[in-house]
Structure 1
């Protein structure tokens, strides 16, 4: 069963979060830019398999939080289609708070 997890990071910058995630999960994000994603964001993985997206919690169109329920987190990490949810959670540590965990077949 694949999990879709959302983590929040209260650190000051997306660059700090990126560095910590790459170090702990042993991979390198690909830098991307998209107005839909709020400008600069980072991605690892493919659409058809496990994919991680790191972005700011700001909607580029209205300036509000993308995840309104979690507006106190300036940086978000989406972990989609993972089969190793618990492993990732453990590796990320306490600086990254699991905000949502959903399972799908």
Structure 2
């Protein structure tokens, strides 16, 4: 069995709106957190099966670097760790999310 790590981006800069959209699609509930390492407010969901979804800003650090510099137009980032096929299928058709990266590790 392989582990799947996915990054989606959204041009919408409203973290709460993207969190609500993803929560509705996946049927999950996010917890609002705060971390200077993640650019301030972010949303997190974890389940017992290792699925982890984090919704964060593509923020600029003190040195002027974006957290995902290859995707400057994507203001909101959706990191999904240990995604299964169901999660991928549920988010694949969401027009506000753009697949930026997907990696499977065996």
Give, in angstroms, the shift of residue 88 of structure 1: 3.6
Aligned Cα RMSD in Å?
2.0
2:4 corresponds to:
3
Cα distance between partner residues in 1 of 2:48 and 2:71 = 25
Query: Once superposed, which parts of structure 1, at least 4 consecutive aligned residues long, lie more than 4 Å away?
Result: none
How many matched pairs? Answer: 104
Cα distance between partner residues in 1 of 2:14 and 2:64 = 17
What does 1:17-96 correspond to in 2, within 5 Å? 17-45=18-46, 49-84=50-85, 85-90=87-92, 93-96=94-97
Give, in angstroms, the shift of residue 50 of structure 1: 1.2
Q: Deviations over 1:55-104 (max 9, x none)?
A: 000044334311000011000000011122532433x6121000001001
Runs of 5+ in structure 2 lacking a partner? none
Contact 1:35 1:60 in 2 (8 A): no
Cα distance between partner residues in 2 of 1:3 and 1:93 = 19
Runs of 5+ in structure 1 lacking a partner? none
Moved more, 81-90 or 95-104: 81-90
- With the length of structure 2 as denominator, give the TM-score of the two structures: 0.86
Distance 1:63 1:39, change over 3 A: farther
Cα distance between partner residues in 1 of 2:57 and 2:48 = 20
- With the length of structure 1 as denominator, give the TM-score of the two structures: 0.87
